[in-house]
Amino acid sequence: MHPFRANSLLRKLFCTLLITNLLTAAASINTQAHGSMPQFEETSSSGELQLVVKVSPHAAYQTEAIFVDKKLQRELVDGGTGAPFVAPLPPDTTLSFDKKGVQQRYGVTPNGEVVDLSAGLTINISSTSQESLRSQVQVVRARHYGEILPWEEASEVLPKYSKFTIVDVESGLSFEGQRRAGSHHADVQPLTKSDSATLKTIYGGAWSWDRKAVLVKLNGRTLAGSMHGMPHGGDGIPGNDFNGHFCIHFLGSVTHGSRSVDPAHQVMVHRAAGLLTEYISKLSPWALIDVWISAANQGDLQLLQVTTGQEQALHVRSMRRLSKLPERDVSQLLQLDTAVNVSATPVRPSAVVNRRVLFHLERASLNERWYIRSAVIQ
């Protein structure tokens, strides 16, 4: 249930806010983590709609906004379908309302385009309704995602020994951490035993090097970051059940050892900022292959889908790139075939084996993005 309906007192508050919204056309926004969509009362006559932003369809962490727009609701009910929706991922924002007891649910792009998710078609609405919806979506997405800052600026926002809240954008679980060191990215430790336990829960009960998109909250600001969950290196907070520190990367931050940008961390930073699709669409074929390998290594189906444009699963327990990518000029190519050496652990055997992956990439025109159309593990 929506938090405004928690008890009778809050129901009265909700009604007051709804009346205010009718007069001011303002949206009420709430961010929370839960696994199911709220239940709706019949609102077809009131024009009440709800926006929900989630980083992925299965994410528990979401931001909600309720607003009233009778004109938009009528257009959604009466409007016909338009062009096919061909993006590699469904919109991260959904629009819902009740029509005679039946919930209607659509996807909404950042530009205010409405998508029939089951048919994969856009819905025709007026330009004024689209602009109004675009404004609503921008507000909710800004509340949901983090600010993307270069490492040099993020380092100033999160100075050494500062304490902050870290939120996993998938599970919605949060814990407190402190930056202890780190000149190229933030070396962070959980503050307490409870914080360490939450971090471990985020990773399914075992410490892991897997990268996860996170929000870092401090002094009214929310930054987009990427963390892993493996204790290593120096320790500084006794009694927190975390032997070492873990790392949080931001835009352009590099690893301490290689002094190079970690591709997997950068993908997660953009995911935490709500910019995953835009980021992937600008990558070279070689960078796209690195994202695919990271997705295979972590079993990240959304990343696999955004690199290939297709829903698919890859059953491996681990995968790492061994060879350097043979980069060459592809500016005038529409197709590309290349092989990359990897180390991989298949699903059943426990031993790591070396394999070659044959990639075939395509794009529709020289101005459009690349897709990995096939990846064959030899």
CATH number, domain at 174? 2.30.110
Residue 99 or residue 170, greater confidence: 170
Q: Which of 272, 302, 318 is the last residue of a domain?
A: 272
Q: Give me the mean pLDDT over the 105-123 stretch.
A: 95
Q: Is residue 159 located within the same domain as residue 259?
A: yes
Residue 323 or residue 175, greater confidence: 175
Q: Which of 87, 113, 144 is the last residue of a domain?
A: 144
Q: What pLDDT is recorded for position 3?
A: 40
Q: Is residue 119 located within the same domain as residue 224?
A: no
Q: What pLDDT is recorded for position 2?
A: 39
340: its two tokens: 């990359």
Q: Is residue 216 located within the same domain as residue 296?
A: no
Q: Is residue 31 located within the same domain as residue 108?
A: yes
Residue 352 or residue 266, greater confidence: 266
* Model confidence pLDDT, tens digit, residues 1-60: 434 333 333 333 333 333 334 333 345 677 776 433 333 333 345 689 999 999 999 999
- Given a cut of 70, whether residue 236 has pLDDT beyond it is yes
Residue ranges making up the domain that contains 313:
281-377
pLDDT band, very low/low/confident/very high, at 115 (cuts 50, 70, 90):
very high
**Cβ atoms of residues 73 and 79 within 8 Å:** no
Q: Give me the mean pLDDT over the 126-140 stretch.
A: 96
Q: What pLDDT is recorded for position 37?
A: 35
Q: Is residue 251 located within the same domain as residue 229?
A: yes
* Model confidence pLDDT, tens digit, residues 256-300: 777 789 999 999 999 999 999 999 999 999 999 999 999 999 989
Which residues are 169's β-sheet partners? none
Q: What pLDDT is recorded for position 28?
A: 62
Give the count of domains, the chain: 3
Q: Give me the mean pLDDT over the 92-109 stretch.
A: 93
Q: Is residue 12 located within the same domain as residue 135?
A: yes
Rounded mean pLDDT of the chain?
A: 87
Q: Give me the mean pLDDT over the 90-98 stretch.
A: 95
Q: What pLDDT is recorded for position 256?
A: 75
- Given a cut of 90, whether residue 205 has pLDDT beyond it is yes
Residue 91 or residue 259, greater confidence: 91
Please say whether the dihedral angle defined by the alpha carbons of residues 236, 242, 243 and 246, taken in this order, is positive or negative: negative
Q: Which of 77-91, 102-116, 152-166, 204-218 has the lowest mean pLDDT?
A: 77-91
Q: What is the CATH number of the domain that holds 299?
A: 3.10.450
Full-model pTM: 0.87
**Cβ atoms of residues 214 and 225 within 8 Å:** yes
Q: Which of 11-25, 65-79, 101-115 has the lowest mean pLDDT?
A: 11-25
Q: What pLDDT is recorded for position 349?
A: 62
Looking at residue 194, what DSSP letter applies? H
Q: Give me the mean pLDDT over the 347-356 stretch.
A: 78
Q: Is residue 72 located within the same domain as residue 14?
A: yes
Residue 362 Cα distances to 118, 140, 226, 277, 290, angstroms: 26, 34, 29, 17, 16
Q: Is residue 41 located within the same domain as residue 107?
A: yes
Q: Which of 208, 239, 272 is the last residue of a domain?
A: 272
Q: Is residue 156 located within the same domain as residue 216?
A: yes
pLDDT band, very low/low/confident/very high, at 316 (cuts 50, 70, 90):
confident
Q: Is residue 14 located within the same domain as residue 134?
A: yes
Q: Give me the mean pLDDT over the 330-349 stretch.
A: 88
Q: Is residue 237 located within the same domain as residue 310?
A: no
DSSP assignment of 294-360 equals: HHHHHT-HHHHHHHHSS-----EEEEEE-SPP-----TT-SEEEEEEEEEEEESS--S-EEEEEEEE
Q: Is residue 263 located within the same domain as residue 287?
A: no
Q: What is the CATH number of the domain that holds 92?
A: 3.30.1490
